[in-house]
Structure 1
Amino acid sequence: MPEGTVSGPASYFPSIERTYGRPVEEWLALVAARPADEKHAATVAWLKAEHGLGHGHANALVAYHRAQR
């Protein structure tokens, strides 16, 4: 993979910012504020229901956040 190429959940970030008009840092802060024991799928469902994110975008944010912990 070429140097500087982003892969995994972070590869969705430019699309998330374009589609929803908010920086990824804001979305990650919202995910971080969720209860620590909340299941991955529940956080994805919350992003979809409360903020209108598509499944792939919501899943990428939650997966990235959890990988950073």
Structure 2
Amino acid sequence: MPDTPKVKGPASYFPSIEKTYGEPIAHWMTVLERAGPLKHMELVAILKSQHAMGHGHANALVASFLAKP
């Protein structure tokens, strides 16, 4: 039976983020997109202050968002 590769990096947080906050990752990417061209920690601060998200989850979402072309 082949092993499924383990998800690493920011995406490893995604199942927990969806379960904890009740929204799909696409929702959070839209939130970040609508926030405008801000720096990493500014986007993290928005997720934490406006959506009561924990630092680790917010940081993972922003890292993934900013890594996309």
- TM-score, normalization by structure 2: 0.89
The 2-side partners of 1:13 and 1:6 are apart by 10
Which consecutive unaligned segments of at least 5 residues does structure 2 have? none
* Rg larger for: 2
Alpha-carbon RMSD across the aligned residues, in angstroms, is 1.1
- How far apart are the structure 1 equivalents of 2:36 and 2:9? 24
Give the AA of the match of 1:7.
K
Distance in 2 separating the partners of 1:5 and 1:32: 28
Q: Which residue of 2 aligns with 1:22?
A: 23
Name the % identity. Answer: 51
After TM superposition, the score normalised by the length of structure 1 is: 0.89
Verify: 1:7 aligned to 2:28, yes or no.
no
Which stretches of structure 1, 4 residues or longer, exceed 6 Å deviation after superposition? none
| Paired residue total | 67
